[in-house]
Amino acid sequence: MNDQSTEQEIQAKGLIAPRVTPADLQANIVGEYYFTAQDGVQAVLHKQDELTRLTGAHGELALLTFCVLVLRSGFTVTGESACASPENFDDAIGRKIARQNAEQKIWPLMGYELKSRLHG
Residue count of the chain, please give it. 120
* H-run or E-run covering 6: helix 3-12
- List the domain range (segments joined by +) for residue 115: 20-35+64-119
Q: How far apart are CA 94 and CA 96, in angstroms?
A: 5
Which amino acid makes up residue 30? V
Q: Is residue 3 part of a domain?
A: no
Q: What is the pTM of this model?
A: 0.84
Q: In the chain, how many domains are there? A: 1
- The CA-atom distances, in angstroms, between 86 and each of 16, 58, 62, 80, 90 are 46, 12, 9, 16, 9
Sign of the torsion formed by the C-alpha atoms of 112, 27, 25 and 71: negative
| Residue closest to 31 by CA, chosen among 73, 3, 63, 2 | 73
Provide the pLDDT confidence category of residue 93 given band limits of 50, 70 and 90.
very high
pLDDT tens by residue, 29-77: 999 999 999 888 888 776 555 555 555 557 889 999 999 999 999 999 9
Q: Is residue 51 part of a domain?
A: no
The conformation of residue 74, written as its DSSP 8-state character, comes to: S
Q: Is residue 45 part of a domain?
A: no
Q: Is residue 49 part of a domain?
A: no
Q: Is residue 2 part of a domain?
A: no
Provide the pLDDT confidence category of residue 18 given band limits of 50, 70 and 90.
very high
User: Per-residue pLDDT averaged across 13-39, rounded?
Assistant: 95
Q: What is the mean pLDDT of the chain?
A: 90
**Residue 99 · residue 69 · CB < 8 Å:** yes
- Report the pLDDT value the prediction gives residue 94, as an integer from 0 to 100: 97
